């Protein structure tokens, strides 16, 4: 049984495309915010939720990271990677020379900055809750407007595609995560995401923390930080490591790191995305 999946909507978003990639037969529930998706999973309204977590051009989606840090009862079950192709959508009678306002999600606006500066240097850029919601904002606007959204959003909203593939970089991809009440079992090709912070700041803390993984030959796939939101200059560190939390060498590193930290949380272990163009990974 495919189950039910919450996603950042409305219909036509890249997140919906990621859900179809993950579970084509799932019962879909659209939410207007990442926070809403997370709460749907925590409350049991849906079995899983899919949200964006990182873009290859713009970096991490901070709202998703903050929810993972603060919200208990959530785990990362899987990751999905989707190529992002932005289109410029307009109502049927709108001409390019008419456009005064361009709506989209802030990340999409940033990913199309060069196109917008070249073609609409005087247009007002307005943030929407999602790329698909931008189409509704455009249709309701009192000004001649356009929206940056996926190609599929055009047919859903009866609007016209004025330009395709307007993103500044052809290697633009977004990583999504599947949220659930528990993570995945070991597959032999896994990743573990976690966060931690320290009670005090002193030289060598991060060096010693990361050393727990280095000494056990565990690769650090990603490292970043977020403000703790408690005190200025206090940070929470977020790390992705290769391997499953139940793998002996990963487990020993995690246990040793946890003893050094004032706050520690494992977001989950899950299969690493299998890029069809990447070299084949070893079988478990």
* 279 domain residue, yes or no: no
Q: Do residues 106 and 72 both lie within one domain? A: no
* 205 domain residue, yes or no: yes
Q: Do residues 9 and 130 both lie within one domain? A: no
Enumerate the H helices of 43-127 as residue ranges.
Answer: 62-70, 106-111, 113-119
CA 80 to CA 283: how far, in whole Å? 20
Give the tens place of pLDDT for each residue, 57-74.
889 999 999 999 999 899
**37 is in which domain, residue-wise?**
4-84+172-180
Specify the pLDDT at position 233. 77
CA 69 to CA 169: how far, in whole Å? 30
Identify the residue whose tokens are 């709202």: 63
Q: Do residues 159 and 43 both lie within one domain? A: no
CB atoms within 10 A of CB 207: 9
Query: Which SS3 state, helix, strand or coil, does residue 21 take?
Result: helix
* 281 domain residue, yes or no: no
Q: Do residues 147 and 263 both lie within one domain? A: no
Q: Do residues 115 and 242 both lie within one domain? A: no
CATH code assigned at 121: 3.40.190.10
Q: Do residues 92 and 232 both lie within one domain? A: no
Phi, psi of 55 (to 5 degrees): -120, 145
Q: Do residues 98 and 234 both lie within one domain? A: no
The pair of three-digit structure tokens given for residue 168, joined into one six-digit string: 């500044």
Asked if 184 and 190 count as a contact pair (C-beta separation under 8 A), the reply is: yes
How high does pLDDT run on average in the chain? Answer: 92
Query: Which SS3 state, helix, strand or coil, does residue 49 take?
Result: strand
Q: Is the pLDDT of residue 278 over 80?
A: no
For residues 191-212, average pLDDT:
92
- Count the domains in the chain: 3
Final residue of a structural domain among 180, 214, 238: 180
Q: Is the pLDDT of residue 281 over 50?
A: no
Q: Is the peptide bond before 211 cis (omega within 30 degrees of 0)?
A: no
CATH code assigned at 242: 3.30.70.260
* 282 domain residue, yes or no: no
CA 22 to CA 184: how far, in whole Å? 14
How far, in Å, are 96, 148, 177 from residue 153 at the CA level? 19, 10, 22
Its pTM stands at 0.83
Asked if 270 and 78 count as a contact pair (C-beta separation under 8 A), the reply is: yes
Q: Do residues 199 and 262 both lie within one domain? A: yes
């Amino acid at each position: 049984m495919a189950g039910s999946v919450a996603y950042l909507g409305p219909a036509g978003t890249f997140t919906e495309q990621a859900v179809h990639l993950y579970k084509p037969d799932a019962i879909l529930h659209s939410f207007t915010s990442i926070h809403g998706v997370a709460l749907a999973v925590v409350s049991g309204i849906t079995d899983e939720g899919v949200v964006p977590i990182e873009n290859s051009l713009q970096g991490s989606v901070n709202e998703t990271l903050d929810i993972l840090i603060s919200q208990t009862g959530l785990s990362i079950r899987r990751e999905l990677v989707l190529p992002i192709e932005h289109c410029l959508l307009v109502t049927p009678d709108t001409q390019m020379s008419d456009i005064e306002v361009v709506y989209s999600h802030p990340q999409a606006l940033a990913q199309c900055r060069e196109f917008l500066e070249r073609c609409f240097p005087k247009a007002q850029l307005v943030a929407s809750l999602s790329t698909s919601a931008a189409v509704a904002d455009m249709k309701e606007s009192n000004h001649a407007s356009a929206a940056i959204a996926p190609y599929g959003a055009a047919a859903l909203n009866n609007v016209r595609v004025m330009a395709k593939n307007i993103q500044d970089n052809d290697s633009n991809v977004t990583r999504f995560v599947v949220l659930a009440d528990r993570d995945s079992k070991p597959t032999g090709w896994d990743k573990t995401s976690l966060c931690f912070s320290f009670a005090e700041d002193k030289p060598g803390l991060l060096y010693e923390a990361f050393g727990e993984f280095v000494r056990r030959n565990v690769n650090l796939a990603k490292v970043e930080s977020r403000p703790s939101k408690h005190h200025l200059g206090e940070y929470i560190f977020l790390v992705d490591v290769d391997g499953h939390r139940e793998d002996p060498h990963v487990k020993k590193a995690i246990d040793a790191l946890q003893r050094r930290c004032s706050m520690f949380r494992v977001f989950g272990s899950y299969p690493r995305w299998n890029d069809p163009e990447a070299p084949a990974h070893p079988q478990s």
